[in-house]
Chains A and B, each alone.
Chain A
């Protein structure tokens, strides 16, 4: 059997004077912990770092395996590794969990150092820009000033967008996949239903479900419904129909004595499974905080318009959208491209013809891989 490439998730806590994280809301977070993983080695010139940003439900574990018994590698293993687009023989790749999350970085399920209890809803509101602040600190801690490239899809793409505006001198290249400079009403609406599902679950209890007195009752039903809705939006209608069509779970359709309102069709069972597996790895409050950060993201905020916001950008940009992505359609990427073009930024854009929908950036595909490889190769000249 092939030996697995084992990586360990590491943690850093910013403590001591001046280490407080000042959030966009004006509130402060103390003793912020960041979970992160690195792949490859930092070179002597310290200029070969690739910073990867994860999407809504992602985490710091972007590549390799955390243990021999892991069945699946990290979420972007197709991109990170030897001879892959983010070639770990050449680049030093970093990925960290966002704050507000629940995979090792400080979030609503973390213990508030002041009260010694989980934050719950006392966790302050965070923004996409806030997510970047501890990542910048992490880089400083690792002695990295310049980045070879930054990359992310969906919420990761929004972080990349915010990064090239907030820290314009740092990244040589930026890869922005299936993202938007701000959510449309439809995108907010889908997230809103997800949030409603969670907060209307009685077990949510105003975000206080971490306590022992709750006997382990969490708003799992709410969270799984939120995930089911989200999942529908992440894949294309074409792919979904191809996978499941109108197939029934019970192929013989044996007459039952009752009507099955939940799992009669294959697609129903699939969605149910998606919801079930998600609740094992995600915190409902984190889902609320992160989707809120996504909905509030507006790159033009504080500027006259998007063009003015983008006037700070110095990075060479690769913007990608997918023809089958109806959640973050190509027009939103084209708005970004337009603003970059007006500012004379060296920009590359294609609306890639992949069939998988919004999640196309997570699926192994020759085209996606050679595109990103081509762009990083071009950055080296």
Chain B
């Protein structure tokens, strides 16, 4: 048999398996999703809705069976342009994955959130185009403005690497927020939805962040957890914690996007406090970490 025929058969089989594994509702959404794709099924940012068919089955398993995610207040995630601002934690950015998953799997109708990835991500082989095909975009302000003007939803982690690499003793204490998202919100008049992620801190509790080692291997951080680096890369595989997402009520801000940092910081502090409050409430309600 010809090589191309085998490949075609294989992709047909994958297609079949994928469409069986996905909820009909989500599948219908993927097929109807209009993100101004061209004739080859891509939007100008490299997002390919058809690609989700291959990602969602595994994602669904991780989201529903492994992390058994509970979502509260998803109704606060409205249609139209929105900035979702969440706390960042867990050493590897699975919180972003779960949040994007919640908007697809737990919301009716499903909607795509685009997370803003770090500027070094396009430098990583495979990861770079994988994330792009799933709709994730490099986080430059210009890209954000363009996406918001198209009415899309954007997920931001204003804590950035500071948040995700924090050690276990500082769990659920929010780091300082960057100001960029607030400038965007003011410039485009976009509502901000605060979001608390509970559970991610325990998926890979880090005792210490070995900065020197991180610099040595060229990574943004180098956590020492009970399993990493002792078990190699597999040690970073998350523990089966239960994820809980708490969406807060949308917040609107007004003002000059070009104000001084000091003025913006006050507004950012309000958002940070809102996220911290949601985190605290979520922690109070939580009875156990793993179930």
A binds B: no
B residues at A contact (CB < 8 Å): none
A residues at B contact (CB < 8 Å): none
